[in-house]
Amino acid sequence: MRPALAGARNPVLEVSQNLRYRWFIISLAILLPAVLLFKYPPDAWTPAPAGLSPESSRVNRDYTPGEMLRTPQWFLIYFSFTFAISTILIFAAQMKMIAREFGIPQAHFDLLLILFPLGNGVSRIFGGAVSDRIGRERTIEVLSHPWLLKPPCRK
């Protein structure tokens, strides 16, 4: 027996699929010409030593909540968090429909509702620890491929 939503179309998913391809084209249209602006530095060039000079160093101080809210850095962090968490919230909102569509038993779905937020929180702590040890770029590379952890499918 087919689930009730098997033939239903999800307009949000269709729009997101179309937007994905449009953003891909827009990104290519911006990035490919930008590549022409890059050039290697001369062979004799060496980067400046890391660290701040005494003239440019700042005095560390505590900000009040009002002062913090007036800084552009706070808004950058806030919007970054908002956009990063929105994908998780959108997926979580669709979990019941996905479970119904694929015929997942209620007991398994209840377990999923418990493990999903726990896994989300633990993976952030685990990802931070791994990032501290092997670096941010390598961590993203490793954690972006969860299919590497999946056992091979059997027929």
Q: What is the pLDDT of residues 97-123, one digit of tens each?
A: 888 888 888 888 888 888 888 887 888
**Predicted TM-score (pTM) above 0.75:** no
Report the sign of the C-alpha dihedral through residues 82, 85, 87, 92, in that order. Answer: negative
Per-residue confidence band for 88, with pLDDT thresholds at 50, 70 and 90: confident
Per-residue confidence band for 83, with pLDDT thresholds at 50, 70 and 90: confident
Residue 138 pLDDT exceeds 70 = yes
Residue, of 155 and 66, whose pLDDT is higher? 66
> What is the structure's pLDDT at 4?
54
CA distances from 63 to 66, 69, 70 (A): 8, 9, 10
For the chain, how many residues are written?
155
How high does pLDDT run on average in the chain?
77
For 45-150, strand residue ranges (E) read none
- How many H helices and E strands in the chain? 5, 0
